[in-house]
Structure 1
Amino acid sequence: MKTTIENSKSYSWGEVCTAWQFVNTPTLSVIRETMPPGSSELLHKHSRSQQFFYVVSGQAHFELDGETYELSANEGIHVRPKQMHRIFNSGSESLELLVISEPHSHSDRINI
């Protein structure tokens, strides 16, 4: 089956962010997320999961183990297990990104 935003399960996270679950298996998760301007994620880590964050559109500031990286469209960052991380949308437009996790990260989250 072809996967689209329209046929994918959606959910809200944080106070204003939206996500669509494209792939949801115990070993792999692919999620499309929308973050409005000014929104951010809480600092956290995963004990087993590695993730790749890929910016589709907008500007992201990504904190990874205490260093901050600026990501634009068509750029991404790899997060290894146990690395503290969070993402911010400090731009003036919505941030659209893909979050790929292996294995699935929702049950493997430790807020800092």
Structure 2
Amino acid sequence: MIRSKQNSEHYIWGENCDSWILLNSENLSIKQEIIPPHSKEQLHFHKNAQQFFFILKGKATFVVDEEVFEVAENSGFHIAPNKNHLIENQSDVDLEFLVISNPSTNNDRFAVEN
């Protein structure tokens, strides 16, 4: 089946961020997401899932175990399980990306208290 934002389940998360579920199985999750300007997600980790983020538009800032990484458009970034992390959009334009998780992050997201 051909999947796109137009025919996939959509939900809002965090600070007015958009997510489209392109694929969600027990072993693999693929989502297309948009983070508006000057927004970020809560610091968290996954016990089981590794994730690969591919930046479609904009520039992402990742914080992983207190280390900061800038990831440009048309580039990807891998996060291993059990790493405290977040993604942030520090720019004035939308940040759009794919996030691929193996296995799925369903019931595998744990917030990190500040």
Q: Which TM-score bucket, shorter chain as reference?
A: over 0.9
1:80 corresponds in structure 2 to: 80
TM-score w.r.t. structure 1 length? 0.97
2:54 corresponds in structure 1 to: 54
Which segments of structure 1 move beyond 2 Å, counting only runs of 4 or more? none
Unaligned stretches of 5+ residues in structure 1: none
State the number of aligned residues: 112
The one-letter amino acid of 1:61's match is T
Unaligned stretches of 5+ residues in structure 2: none
CA RMSD of aligned residues (A): 0.7
Partner Cα distance (1:53, 1:60) in 2: 10
SS of the equivalent of 2:6 reads: coil
The one-letter amino acid of 2:48's match is R
SS of the equivalent of 1:6 reads: helix
Q: CA deviation at 1:5?
A: 0.8
TM-score w.r.t. structure 2 length? 0.96
Partner Cα distance (2:78, 2:53) in 1: 7
Identity %: 41
